[in-house]
């Protein structure tokens, strides 16, 4: 069980996620059968901690969540999970740091994640003296329970610092509650990006939304008290049409460049266009981003030579930006989301 980890990634990007793990490991990686699409036990040649340290400096794009396995329990029940957790983790949980228990269960079981979380969290609070904080834990006991063809079920458990897991959500699954007035599912992508990249928008800032229609990202920016210029030849949702904080310019993003755009604190781009063309467009808009500004964009990645598309798009973007981080977020589909700041060699208008 030494150097055994559980990794999670989108099933559509498993090849790229596994490549990231293999490139970060110092030796061979033994990939075991998936517990669920996109969820794999892996035997590393290097330690989890070495890999986690590397990813602190340069986080992967496609690996969504990872944790080390320090305990496996065959044919798990609530009672034997509790017993084994007490034996292994009671002395490992640091009483100085708040913790949480995060459980994912695949297949049919007579208990739910909430039952496991409650049982183990109560035990660890009493045995370790650590504070339970499910919102902002510093350390997490991760639990994955699944069925395998050769046995009646198995549980994998591991303790790690939250920052080493790549996400503070179980399996990297970040869900948002659908709100009244929501315009599109795309809003979740922007909410997750702002959270994942830890972007704090300036009070009453000015933002440019390229390819804005029907207006999901514009709505989120307005909720964040930003004044938004929404550029799109198509119409915006009726709820935005009379908002004094929204200026709708009915042009394509390309055509708007000829109008000498204003300067902005934030530029966002979720347009459905070739990733390289979208990158070129963002570089052309770089002069209209304040030196202290930030940008968020998605790069569409249809099936094909995705690494080549990513590499080419990144080279284009570096003409005008520093790429702070790129991630395949939970709410992304065949795309990745980038956080950009001004930098590089400016080109374009």
Between CA 337 and CA 323, with CA 211 as vertex, the angle to 5 degrees is 30
Count Cβ atoms within 10 A of the Cβ of residue 149 and give its class: 0-12 exposed, 13-18 middle, 19 or more buried.
Answer: exposed
Dist CA 347 CA 345 (whole Å) = 6
Q: Which residues are catalytic?
A: 300
- Say whether 348 sits in a helix, a strand or coil: coil
DSSP helix/strand/coil, 225: coil
With b meaning 16 or more CB within 10 Å and e meaning fewer, what string describes 271-290? bebebbebbbbbbbbbebbe
Q: If phi over 0 gives left and psi between -120 and 50 gives alpha, with beta otherwise, what is residue 129? A: left
What spatial distance separates the first Cα and last Cα of the chain, rounded to whole Å? Answer: 57
Residue 320 phi, psi dihedral angles, 5° rounding: -135, -10
Closest CA to 88 of 103, 107, 69, 67: 69
Q: Any idea of the CA torsion for 230, 234, 236, 242, to the nearest 10 degrees?
A: 80
**What are the DSSP calls for 42-60, one per residue?**
EE-SS-HHHHHHHHHHS--
């Amino acid at each position: 069980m030494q150097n055994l980890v559980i990794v999670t990634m989108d099933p559509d990007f498993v090849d790229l996620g596994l490549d990231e793990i293999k490139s970060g490991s110092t030796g061979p990686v033994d990939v075991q059968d998936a517990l669920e699409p996109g969820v794999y036990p892996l035997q590393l040649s290097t330690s989890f901690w070495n890999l986690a340290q590397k990813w602190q400096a340069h986080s992967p794009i496609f690996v969504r969540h990872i944790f080390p396995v320090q305990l496996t329990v065959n044919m798990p029940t609530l009672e034997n999970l509790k017993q084994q957790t007490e034996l292994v983790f009671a002395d490992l949980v640091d009483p100085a740091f708040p913790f949480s228990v995060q459980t994912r269960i695949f297949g049919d079981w007579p208990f739910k994640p909430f039952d496991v979380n409650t049982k183990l969290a109560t035990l660890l609070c009493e045995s370790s003296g650590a504070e339970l904080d499910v919102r902002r834990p510093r350390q997490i006991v991760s639990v994955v329970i699944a069925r395998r063809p050769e046995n009646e079920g198995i549980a994998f458990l591991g303790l790690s610092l939250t920052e080493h897991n790549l996400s503070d959500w179980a399996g990297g699954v970040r869900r948002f509650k659908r709100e009244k007035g929501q315009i599109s599912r795309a809003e979740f992508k922007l909410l997750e990006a702002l959270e994942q990249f830890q972007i704090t928008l300036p009070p009453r800032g000015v933002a440019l939304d390229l390819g804005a229609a029907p207006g999901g990202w514009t709505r989120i920016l307005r909720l964040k008290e930003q004044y938004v210029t929404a550029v799109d030849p198509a119409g915006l949702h009726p709820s935005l049409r009379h908002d004094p904080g929204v200026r709708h310019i009915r042009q394509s993003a390309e055509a708007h460049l000829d109008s000498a755009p204003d300067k902005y604190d934030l530029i966002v781009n979720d347009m459905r266009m070739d990733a390289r063309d979208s990158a070129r467009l963002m570089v052309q808009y770089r002069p209209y981003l304040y030196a202290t500004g930030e940008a968020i964009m998605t790069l569409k990645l249809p099936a094909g030579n995705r690494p080549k598309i990513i590499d080419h798009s990144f080279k284009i973007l570096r003409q005008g930006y520093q790429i702070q981080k790129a991630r395949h977020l939970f709410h992304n589909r065949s795309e990745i989301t980038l956080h950009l700041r001004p930098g590089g060699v400016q080109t374009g208008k």
